[in-house]
Amino acid sequence: MKIDTPFRIGSVVPVLIATLAISSTANAQPANDSAVGVLDQSSLEEPLRSAITTAIRNQPQQRQWGGEHGDYLFGVAVRPLPQGSLRNRATPITLSTVQGIALHEMLIIKAVLQRYSEVGLTDADALRQALLRMTDGIRVNGRVQDTRQEAAVQKEFAVGYVIARRDALTAHLMTDANLSAVKNAYRDVMHARLRALMQKEQWPEAVGIWQHLDERKLESGTLLLDVARCFQKQAEPNKALEVLVRARSLQMETATVEFLTELGDVGLLLGIKNANDFAEESFLEALRRFQNK
């Protein structure tokens, strides 16, 4: 369904929707499958549909998603429908709700990229999650023209999505947050994504996440320790050792016994003399700090 009339969102509705953004994630897999099912039955063109589906699959615990693909921004939302006699009465309201949430998610993507992309924070979903870690919700004012949107029932869920060209949106982020804190939260969100890739043994993809952060000088000792593990798994001992050295240097003042021991453990796995020397130094420092507790 295409809407040519401008659609406005004020400050009251976004507060409500932003609260929903951090609500329960029960029934995540059936909800995700229902969202993907509506997209599969839609008339959306490829590869836009694939990009939206990927965003949903990459964040399986969410019930609403926003993102970008080329010149387009999108938002998707899914909510369960009640059972029994309430379902018929609740369905129209729930369908309207998911469309509103999807629209808000799209505006969030526009607003956060507009505010933070100039400082290198260009992953829209990571930005959204970073802000939600720091606040009770994300508030945004915006104006939308010429959207494509749909809301439909899929199994036990109401699903809504909305898509618009980037230049058809205006959005203003009302949520205030310290830039340094946003950067740290952004790094932590990306680090969590890196660890998820490590669990799947997708080492090159995990290293790609680190390279994104490294270019922006957003690192921590624990992040670099994980990156060293990735290089070790890829049989690149020299790169692993270089990162281990950076990790220890970056976190030396506050390094715990456990962190220093983990550095040494990874160093021993590399099988090269310099790494063995590094491991010994790390173990000795860990022992010294343990004795001084």
Residue ranges per structural domain of the chain: 2-177, 181-291
- Taking domain 181-291, whether its CATH number is 1.25.40.10 is answered by yes
Which residues lie below 8 Å from residue 105, measured CB to CB, with a gap of 6+?
21, 64, 65, 66, 75, 76, 77, 128
List C-alpha distances in Å: 187 to 123, 131, 177: 11, 12, 15
**Pair of tokens at residue 143:** 């104006």
Question: What is the average pLDDT score of the chain?
Answer: 89
- Provide the residue-wise pLDDT of the chain in tens; the chain has 293 residues: 222 223 333 323 333 333 333 333 445 789 999 999 999 999 999 999 999 999 999 888 889 999 999 999 999 999 999 988 899 999 999 999 999 999 999 999 999 999 999 999 999 889 989 998 887 788 898 888 889 999 999 999 999 999 999 999 999 998 888 999 999 999 999 999 999 999 999 999 999 999 999 999 999 999 999 999 999 999 999 999 999 999 999 999 999 999 999 999 999 999 999 999 999 999 999 999 999 87
Q: Determine contact, residues 170/142, Cβ cutoff 8 Å.
A: yes
pLDDT at position 210 is 98
